[in-house]
Structure 1
Amino acid sequence: MRKRYLGGTAAIAALSMTIALSGCGSTASSGNVTLRLVAAEYGTTPETSSERYWLALATEFESKHPGVKIDIDIRPPKTIDSDVAAMVEEGKAPDLAQGGSYADYATRDQLYTADEIMSVPTQANFLSQLSDAGKVNRIQYGVPFAASTRLLFYNKDLFDQAGIDAPKDWADLKGDAQALKQQGVTTPLALPLGPEEAQSETLMWLLGGGGGYTDTADESYNIDSSANVKTFAWLKDLVAQGLTGPVAPGKLDRAAAYKAFAAGKVGMLNGHPGLLTVAQDQGIDVGTVELPGVDGKAKASMGSADWMMAFKQNGHRAEIGKFLDFVFQDENMMTFVGNYDQLPVTYTATEKMAANAAYENVSVFRSALAESELFPYGKTSWAGVSESIKRNIGKAVEPGQSPKDVLGQIAREAATSESAE
């Protein structure tokens, strides 16, 4: 039988078996200290909501630390970064918040360092690649909470009908897309460059072309490099040939592309672990390969992380540390990553996942994460640059547009932001 990655509601229920869940999660504290946690919604239904996970975890923690209460505030992934920014701007920073970037808060001295809040065993257990990515000026402020990476997904049945094999490089990928189109596949290759997650999709293709967002020598932005321009010229040609489906890439969001793949309408697309279970549950026979590149596989996979930030404003350093030490215990981490299609961020949880046959079908994602390239999280300008990419990158493959000009515009905005750091 197929191994299932999602733990689903059963794992949440196991965590919260003795806990009555009600209300919205924001309750008054009768303890000495109340920690406010702003967390992202990872679930897709009330039964799988992140609120259930955090309420169960908080209740167990509070039973062991009677002087501390956890106030949970769940926010949508699309707005959590702006929501937290607004709270901080209003002088109402939470004690803990999840988000996609932390560097700006760190440079304004608004965050505790990892050294200040966590025990040595907890801090030492984080995957070094992620710990390093959480640093600003060599000091760790961003605490990795969950990780993910990407592979190229393909529909095996559609590939068999077209008589083609999984692509090993861009020439194969283009040929496969042409064969799928001839077979009447609606979208041979989905290219979601819409604002939902364009910064991720873009980086995957840039890595395939031998480029990326930054210069490997000095880590400065290098968005309009010749390699990156060539990559988008190649993608624009695919679009012009009608190989990317009926929706313009700049108007196609990742969620819509994933839904179409699970419905059997897409031949190939770049996907994260969560898509694997969703597509298989819809009866799609899914194949995965490492991201193809121009001359073989891409120089790296794209890796991503969600961060936990600990704000200084309320002065709850000791209580924050106790809670985080609890959050990152293996059993709690395994419940979270199992339910929400993420990869562990600690060595011990990663080892447990590798040893558990239930997670066999995501072993290739774990391997890809170890060799992945992450966003430049440590740059205070990254949040703004990411937004610029989301707004503009889809234009690079539109008819009448120049990839060089579009990438150049984004690069100039990035350079301006970087000079202000």
Structure 2
Amino acid sequence: MNIPVSSKMPLLSLVPFLLLAITLAGCTKEGRGTALTKADTKAFISFVAPAYSSATKPFFEELVKDFEAKYPNIEVELQVINWDILDSAYNTMISRNEPPDLLLSNIYAHFAKDGLLNPMDELLSPALQAKIYPYYTETGKWNGVRYTVPYAATIREMYYNKDIFNEVGIAGPPKTWKELEDDARQIKNAKQVDGFGVDLTDNEIWAYLSYFFYSAGGGWMKNGEWAINSPQNVEGILFLKELYEKGLTDPEPTVTTRDEKQRILGNGKLGMLISGNYFETVVPREFPGLKWGKGPIPVKEGQMPLVLGVQDVWMSFRTDHTNKEALSKFLDFIYEDARYEEFVIREGFIPTVSTVGKKLGENDAVMKQNLDWIQHAKFYPIQHPAWSAVLNATRNMGQAVLLGQMTPQQALDRLQQIALSKSK
């Protein structure tokens, strides 16, 4: 999920789906071509994307069908894989020396460092390059070379159940840590429902770490150096742990995912949680009677308001059949305005290209606000090769910290050492 911009699909049975994904990953099509200029030879593109929702696979299937109709000399093999096993699936492909030509995910720099990726500037047409919002692009560069192009983006905010807030007399979402604690306590005492939903599962823990790192005045890095075990970050995790110990979060932060907690909020059993702006599309669809509101992520008193941005990016692996001309045509097709606009609206994302962003922002005040906010957002340090190892190391630390098996300082010291060792 990695985490992705989003993982809105319900959890599937892991083992059979993993076997299916690996089987699919091993399937190849005969006659993979490399040249578009020969009438009897087809170019071949293998294409892997995560399932954001039940709408994702049909959308990409239709996209591939339309593309192959327009370019009959280019064959596209599509796999849409659940976020929960996406990493395992594409790592299996890479280990078999059968990487996808295009992968949509949220980590890439370790692949770039290992020389596995095609530079994106060799694939992007001038027209596509010109319409990508520039504030996304720095995190797509490793060692000065761009290896990704952003596709799906969100910002994270506090979402809350308006009916619960109104019933207990809370006027609006909390803006500070103190307000967060006080509101969660008021909801718990008055309604006997959970005040604040926290996801420290292996789907989303790095997001919640980020919220409380940045809201304390810290972050993953400082002045270009890893700073995971900074005093500010330790303070942020200590505060989160105290909320849990006081019973002001949901009782199972390391078990129930953000998607499950969104449904609990929709059912009136949870006051608030931090989520992405896709909440605004997905949750009201499931709970049409829900009255919801949103606000910024609460920060420690005295800190600046926090906007966290998340993006999923395309990367292109070097393969034995890489055809840059075909890949360029396919990327242009993916980002055609009408088609990309449909994807953004279906999945509840923020556009990464100016042509679609301008149109949607003119017609939707919320979208315009999201587009404004993401320009000032903090992002995960995906441009650093060590980020993949750091992210993976966070997956099982939630329970250890909450149950006292490790102190926040010990846990963050460990992450810092992993970051430094993988940066060599």
What is the aligned partner in structure 2 of residue 14 from structure 1? none
Residue 341, structure 1, aligned to residue 348, structure 2: yes
Match of 1:367 in 2: 372
| Residues 360 and 367 in structure 2, CA contact (< 8 A), matched pair in contact too | no
Q: Which residue of 2 aligns with 1:220?
A: 225
Distance apart, 1:181 and its partner CA: 1.1
2:391 is matched with which residue? 386
1:344 to partner: Cα distance: 0.9
Residues 1:52 and 1:26: Cα distance change in structure 2 (over 3 Å): farther
Residue in 2 that maps onto 1:406:
411
2:99 corresponds to which residue? 93
Measure the CA separation in 2 of the matches of 1:361 and 1:27: 44
Matched, 1:205 2:209: no
Distance change (3 Å), C-alpha of 1:363 and 1:390: farther
| One-letter amino acid of the structure 2 residue matched with residue 263 of structure 1 | N
Give TM-score, length-normalised by structure 2. 0.86
Matched, 1:113 2:119: yes
Of 183, 194, 212, the match for 2:190: 183
Instruction: Report the 3-state secondary structure (helix = DSSP H, G, I; strand = E; otherwise coil) of the residue aligned with 2:179.
Output: helix
Q: Which residue of 2 aligns with 1:252?
A: 256
Q: Which amino acid aligns with 2:235?
A: K
Contact 1:301 1:373 (8 Å CA) reproduced: yes
Aligned residue runs from structure 1 range 131-280, under 5 A = 131-165=137-171, 166-215=173-222, 217=223, 219-247=224-252, 249-280=253-284
Decide which of 27, 38, 49 is 1:39's aligned counterpart.
49
Q: Is the 8 A contact 2:50 2:81 kept in 1?
A: yes
Residue 78 of structure 1: which of 78, 84, 104 is its match? 84
Rate the CA distance shift 1:297–1:185 in 2: closer, same or farther, 3 A: farther
> Within 2, Cα distance between the matches of 1:194 and 1:55?
31
Identify if the C-alpha distance between structure 1 residues 126 and 244 changes in structure 2 by more than 3 Å, giving closer, same or farther.
same
Task: Using structure 1 for the length normalisation, give the TM-score.
Answer: 0.87
Structure 2 gap segments, 5+ residues each: 1-23, 32-39
* Contact 1:95–1:312, Cα closer than 8 Å, also in 2: yes
Deviation of residue 412 (structure 1)?
1.8
CA contact under 8 A between 1:250 and 1:395: conserved in structure 2?
Answer: no
How many pairs are equivalent? 387
CA separation of 1:278 and 1:53: change in aligned 2, threshold 3 A:
closer
Alignment RMSD (CA, Å): 2.1
Conserved? CA contact 1:145–1:306, under 8 Å? yes
Is the 8 Å Cα contact of residues 229 and 407 (structure 1) preserved in structure 2?
yes
Q: Could you report, residue by residue, the CA deviation over 1:288-342 in whole angstroms, capped at 9, with x for unpaired residues?
A: 1111211256553111111111122122111001110111111111111111121
Establish whether residue 124 from structure 1 lines up as the match of residue 116 from structure 2: no
Q: Percent identity?
A: 25
Rounded Cα–Cα distance in structure 2 between residues aligned with 1:252 and 1:413: 27
AA matched with 1:354:
G
In structure 1, what is the Cα distance between the partners aligned to 2:148 and 2:353?
14
Quote the Cα distance in structure 1 between the aligned partners of 2:357 and 2:187. 37
User: Which blocks of at least 5 consecutive residues in structure 1 are unaligned?
Assistant: 1-23
Q: Secondary structure at the match of 1:250?
A: coil
Q: Which residue of 2 aligns with 1:327?
A: 334
The question of whether the paired residues in 1 share the 8 Å contact of 2:185 and 2:195 is answered with: yes
CA distance in 2, matches of 1:392, 1:76: 23
Shift of 1:27: 7.9
Q: CA deviation at 1:384?
A: 1.2
Return the alpha-carbon distance in structure 2 between the equivalents of residues 286 and 351 of structure 1: 26
The within-5 A match list for 1:44-63 is 44=54, 48=55, 50-63=56-69
Q: Is the 8 A contact 1:290 1:297 kept in 2?
A: no
Contact persistence 1:291–1:297 (CA under 8 A): no
Q: What SS does structure 1 have at the residue aligned with 2:83?
A: coil
1:163 deviates by 0.9
Rounded to whole Å, the distance in 2 between the matches of 1:337 and 1:127 is 15
